């Protein structure tokens, strides 16, 4: 393994501070995407204690819905309507479509299993994820589709306004789309926290998460609360899908699997059930992955990231911001 260590030291030297900043910037943006998916995981896990394997694939479906709207309006190179309404429409379609998908998944794959042995909903979730993934493969032919995000809104194939720099640090530009992704993730996190802590519905959510049976005895329609929770969680994943398309530029059927896996770990790293924890975890996983790609090399990055995550789960399964759960008997 010695060669790996030397490579890493070489890479750190050759990339320098400027390279490190680029890696950090990419990591933060990627991490914000993970954070959005992780918020969905954390909401669903908080309320149902269920690892919703399908969350990553809902994210993928959202990316394809956004792509569908983009294509329907003439594609990125030659859109029929203005840039802002086009992007708004993409988000609307992806979020509503993913939300409906999430609610129907909950209704048909998880709700019949509310009182079943614990392993049953997990296997059902695995089945849903696999169904969505392979359906997407079937319907898209397994190809990688490009948003052409670089040229989106630009004239005659020039770079679009999304790629213009907002500010730069030591000669490294930070573009509009990068700021947009991070700002949206933070904004949605704040919105969610307000929703959960300040509104009547948030109170119902917290009550359902705390004790479903008692909540339903207090007159809370827990099934409806759970449905809405799935709608919100899937909407976030759908939004993340469109942002992935705008930032990374491509969408394909398998992208939900690994992204979902990493986002779930992000939720665990941050402390599952905690909303700021999900964002913190997402950022950490994103930065970790970005530095692994830059310093260790693309082919090793997944192994490094998964290795770190496995170790983290061993050492502190309750996460950074999570509270140590007391098991009720």
Neighbours of 272 (CB within 10 A): 26
Q: How far is the CB of 157 from another protein (least distance, A)?
A: 26
Residues 6+ apart with CB under 8 A from 129: 53, 54, 56, 57, 256, 257, 260
Contact positions with another protein (CB under 8 A) in 222-281: 257-258, 261, 264-265, 268
Query: CA-to-CA distance for 310 and 316, rounded, in angstroms?
Result: 10
Nearer to another protein, 14 or 115 (CB): 115
Nearer to another protein, 85 or 142 (CB): 142
Nearer to another protein, 146 or 318 (CB): 318
Query: CA-to-CA distance for 84 and 4, rounded, in angstroms?
Result: 46
Contact assessment for residue 294 and residue 19, using Cβ atoms and an 8 Å cutoff: yes
DSSP E strands in the chain: the ranges are 145-146, 165-169, 172-175, 250-251
Q: How far is the CB of 167 from another protein (least distance, A)?
A: 36
At residue 174, φ and ψ (nearest 5 deg) are: -110, 120
Q: Is 310 in the site for another protein (CB under 8 A)?
A: yes
Contact assessment for residue 294 and residue 15, using Cβ atoms and an 8 Å cutoff: yes
The correct pick among 21, 77, 96, 111 for binding another protein (CB under 8 A) is: 111
The correct pick among 23, 36, 51, 266 for binding another protein (CB under 8 A) is: 51
The correct pick among 24, 92, 96, 113 for binding another protein (CB under 8 A) is: 113
- Write b or e for each residue in 79-99: b if 16 or more Cβ atoms lie within 10 A of its Cβ, otherwise e: beeeeeebbebbbbbbbbbbb
Please choose, out of 32-40, 77-85, 135-143, 287-295, the segment that lies near another protein by the rule CB under 8 A: 135-143
Nearer to another protein, 56 or 153 (CB): 56
Q: Is 327 in the site for another protein (CB under 8 A)?
A: yes
Nearer to another protein, 84 or 218 (CB): 218
**Which 8-state DSSP code applies to residue 322?**
P
Please choose, out of 157-165, 170-178, 281-289, 310-318, the segment that lies near another protein by the rule CB under 8 A: 310-318
Nearer to another protein, 94 or 182 (CB): 94
Q: Which of 262, 311, 293, 243 is nearest to 63 (CA)?
A: 243
Contact assessment for residue 180 and residue 27, using Cβ atoms and an 8 Å cutoff: no
Quickly tell me which residue has 């040229």 as its tokens.
151
Nearer to another protein, 108 or 187 (CB): 108
- Chain residues binding another protein by CB under 8 A are 45, 50-51, 104, 108-109, 111-124, 126-135, 137-139, 142, 257-258, 261, 264-265, 268, 299-300, 302-303, 306-307, 309-310, 313-314, 317, 327, 329
């Amino acid at each position: 393994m010695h060669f790996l260590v030397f490579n890493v030291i070489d890479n750190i030297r050759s990339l320098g501070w400027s390279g490190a900043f680029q890696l950090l910037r990419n990591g933060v943006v990627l991490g914000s995407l993970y954070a959005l998916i992780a918020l969905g995981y954390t909401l669903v896990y908080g309320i149902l204690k269920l690892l919703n394997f399908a969350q990553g694939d809902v994210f993928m479906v959202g990316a394809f819905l956004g792509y569908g709207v983009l294509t329907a309006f003439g594609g990125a190179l030659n859109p029929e309507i203005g840039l802002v309404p086009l992007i708004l429409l993409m988000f609307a379609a992806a979020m509503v479509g993913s939300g409906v998908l999430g609610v129907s998944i909950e209704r048909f794959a998880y709700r019949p299993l509310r009182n079943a042995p614990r392993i049953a909903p997990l296997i059902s979730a695995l089945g849903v994820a696999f169904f969505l993934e392979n359906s997407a493969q079937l319907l898209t032919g397994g190809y990688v589709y490009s948003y052409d995000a670089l040229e989106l809104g630009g004239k005659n194939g020039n770079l679009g306004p999304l790629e213009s720099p907002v500010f730069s640090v030591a000669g490294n530009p930070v573009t509009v789309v990068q700021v947009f992704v991070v700002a949206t993730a933070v904004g949605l996190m704040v919105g969610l926290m307000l929703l959960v802590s300040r509104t009547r519905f948030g109170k119902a959510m917290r009550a359902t998460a705390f004790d479903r049976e008692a909540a339903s005895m207090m007159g809370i329609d827990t099934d409806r609360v759970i449905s809405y929770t799935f709608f919100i969680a899937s909407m976030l994943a759908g939004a993340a899908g469109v942002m992935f398309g705008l930032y990374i530029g491509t969408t394909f059927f398998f992208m939900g699997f690994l992204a979902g896996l990493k986002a779930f770990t992000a939720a665990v790293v941050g402390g599952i059930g905690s909303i700021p924890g999900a964002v913190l975890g997402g950022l950490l996983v994103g930065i970790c992955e970005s530095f692994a790609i830059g310093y260790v090399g693309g082919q090793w990055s997944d192994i490094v990231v998964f290795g770190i995550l496995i170790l983290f789960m061993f050492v502190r399964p309750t996460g950074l911001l999570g509270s140590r759960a007391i098991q009720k008997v």
